[in-house]
Amino acid sequence: MNPFENIMQELFELIETRHPKLLSLKDDIISQRRNRQNRTIKQIIGHMVDSASNNTHRIVHLQYQAGPYRYPNYATYGNNDRWIALQNYQNEDWFQLVQLWKYSNLHLIHVIDNVDVSKLDNLWQADEDQFISLKDMIIDYLRHFKLHLEEIDALLAET
């Protein structure tokens, strides 16, 4: 059994539950309401796509690169906001963006399911003095995923 079975299952259930709800949202809600980081729901979903993509790459690299592995931390120094702006998620087609969110995260679940457990202690050097194991990276992904869903929920609760 994969040691991340519970994480994968919870991610899958969140994706399957949220997917139709996200698709049903009206344009003014996804494009105008902003969180404390000044991100719209469209931009939050775009950021979650970036997170899935970056984590997929890290997980793959950490299974065959010499450690500690240095892979750019796209979130350092506000670069994740640059990623959001450069990819112009604010003007992305909503249906396509939600599909990308769904399937990039389903693929990440597949990648996690196929992790070589003998590599779980391999380290990613996220910053000069910050090292994160492959195991901790996978565990933390669910927390990060849920954090952004909670941000979306808070924006949806606004009247």
Q: For the chain, give every domain's residue range.
A: 5-157
Residues 6+ apart with CB under 8 A from 87: 46, 50
Q: Helices 134-157 & 94-113, crossing angle to 10 degrees?
A: 150
Q: Are 95 and 43 in contact (CB under 8 A)?
A: no
Q: Are 120 and 134 in contact (CB under 8 A)?
A: yes
DSSP-assigned beta bridge partners for residue 133 = 123
What's the CATH class of domain 5-157?
mainly alpha
Report the distance separating Cα 147 and Cα 128, nearest Å.
25
Tens-binned pLDDT, residue by residue, of the chain (159 aa): 789 999 999 999 999 999 999 999 999 999 999 999 999 999 999 999 999 999 999 999 999 998 898 888 888 777 899 999 999 999 999 999 999 999 999 999 999 999 999 999 999 999 889 999 999 999 999 999 999 999 999 999 986
Number of H helices, E strands in the chain: 6, 2
Report the distance separating Cα 25 and Cα 5, nearest Å.
31
What is the reported pTM?
Answer: 0.95
Tokens of 120: 């779980």
